[in-house]
Amino acid sequence: MQESFILELLGDKQIPIQTGQTILEASLAAGIPHYHACGGNAKCSTCRILIKEGADYLSAFNDKELALRQRIPMPHNVRLACQTYVQGKGAKAHRMIRDEADIRMYISKDIVTDLSYIVEEKNLALFFLDVRDFTPFIETYLAFDVIHVMRRLFTLFRTCIEGQDGKIIETAGDGFYAVFGLQTDVKSAARNGCNAGDAILREIESFNAQYMQKNFRHRFQVGISLHVGQVIVGNIGIGVNNNMTVMGLPVNIAARMQGATKELNNSFIISEAVYKLVEDKRASTKREIALKGVTDKVHVYLLGEPYT
């Protein structure tokens, strides 16, 4: 006959748990949105819990948990909920990776609308972003941890972009490019692009302080570029999913500018064309740079901060 115990998940509620049932299984059965990016197979650490009381009433580390702990050093009182069983009364624990953004991300579903675009020329603001030094994070953590964090990052990016009436056109690895001005004039597009860049820089600092450093001992930085120009917009049949495409020399210039944030040691740069539209007083530093594949040199202004 199976025994039943009560486990108190601090900040959530008390949950019943049977012998032979992991803490993760019991937590999910109780309706708690307990994250488990790998499906509860000890291939990530997103289900980890901090044991506050009653460690002696929990099962010992099994082979899977020991193997993961060799990859990711964790204190003795931090356990994987997917591999831990309760064997007595009086245990109290706290889910470590949890906040409202996680809840929204895991329970919401994207609504995809089929839109048909005619091919047209349009003046747009072109926004490129790349996450700096992402490889060390990939080398340190397991694949499902990386996927979990990437989801969080891109939810942050998407919120900032769409909050300024922008649209992400394409993602590639740890970067993306977006456009502003599909429904506005180019001056508004340039201003919205600057606002989105500022918002991302603010939000990623908060994300680092409140989430990454606490849960993963890592800090992310980004490089952002913003340019404006006349481009071709539409479903032109060259994408795998026939999604909207934005093409033209200004796109290439914006992409090359993003790469130049490294040599300029600045997290956010805008082209002179953008500067003339927004006249941001912070952009007091002007530089002239040569971009690969672009004949003429480009004047840019620095809006961000030096990398640390």
User: Do 60 and 154 belong together in one domain?
Assistant: no
Q: Is 141 exposed, middle or buried (0-12, 13-18, 19+ CB in 10 A)?
A: buried
pLDDT, position 268: 97
Range of the domain at 130: 120-302
DSSP structural state of residue 141: S
Residues 201 and 270 in one domain: yes
Number of domains in the chain: 2
For residue 236, what pLDDT is reported?
58
Single residue among 98, 128, 159 that ends a domain in this structure? 98
User: Considering the domain boundaries, does residue 259 fall inside one?
Assistant: yes
Is residue 107 one of the residues assigned to a domain?
Answer: no
Closest listed residue to residue 125, CA positions, set 181, 195, 184: 181
80 close to 42: Cβ distance less than 8 angstroms: yes
Whether residues 76 and 124 share a domain: the answer is no
Q: Which of 279, 258, 253, 73 is nearest to 190 (CA)?
A: 279
In angstroms, the CA 20 to CA 242 distance is 49
pLDDT in tens, the chain (308 residues): 678 999 999 999 999 999 899 999 999 999 999 999 888 999 999 999 999 999 999 999 999 999 999 988 899 999 999 999 999 999 999 999 886 555 555 444 343 333 344 568 899 999 999 999 899 999 999 999 999 999 999 999 999 999 999 999 999 889 999 999 999 999 999 999 999 999 999 999 999 999 999 999 999 999 999 999 999 888 755 555 557 789 999 999 999 999 999 999 999 999 999 999 998 777 778 999 999 888 889 999 999 999 98
Last residue of a domain, one of 63, 98, 133: 98
| 105 falls within a domain | no
- State the SS3 of the chain: CCCEEEEEECCCEEEEEECCCEHHHHHHHCCCCCCCCCCCCCCCCCCEEEEEECHHHECCCCHHHHHHHHHCCCCCCEEEHHHCEECCCCCEEEECCCCHHHHHHHHCCCCCCCCCCCCEEEEEEEEEEEEECHHHHHHHCCHHHHHHHHHHHHHHHHHHHHCCCEEEEEEECCEEEEEECCCCCHHHHHHHHHHHHHHHHHHHHHHHHHHHHHHCCCCCEEEEEEEEEEEEEECCCCCCCCCCEEECHHHHHHHHHHHHHHHHCCCEEEEHHHHHHHCCCCCCCEEEECCCCCCCCEEEEECCCCCC
Identity at 206, one-letter amino acid code? S
Measure the CA–CA gap between 76 and 223, rounded to whole angstroms.
37
User: How many helices (H) and strands (E) would you count in the chain?
Assistant: 9, 13
Q: Please tell me the pTM assigned to this model.
A: 0.81
Of 77, 35, 84, 29, which is closest to residue 58 (Cα–Cα)?
84
**Does residue 204 lie within any of the structural domains?**
yes
Do 155 and 274 fall within a single domain? yes
201 in a structural domain? yes
Whether residue 171 sits in one domain with residue 125:
yes
Among 254, 267, 251, residue whose Cα is nearest residue 306: 267
**CATH number (domain holding residue 288):** 3.30.70.1230
Which pLDDT belongs to residue 242?
Answer: 53
pLDDT in the model for residue 119:
67
Q: Are residues 83 and 137 in the same domain?
A: no
In a domain, 66, yes or no: yes
- Tell whether 144 and 266 lie within a shared domain: yes
On whether residue 111 sits in a domain, the answer given is no
CATH of the domain at 76: 3.10.20.30
Q: Are 206 and 70 contained in the same domain?
A: no
Residue 93 included in any domain: yes
Looking at the structure, tell me whether residues 286 and 170 fall in a common domain: yes
Instruction: Give the C-alpha separation, 55 to 93, whole Å.
Output: 9
**153 and 56 part of one domain:** no
**Count of residues making up the chain:** 308
Asked if 44 and 144 touch (Cβ cutoff 8 Å), the reply is yes
Residue 209 sits in the same domain as residue 159: yes
Q: Are residues 198 and 274 in the same domain?
A: yes
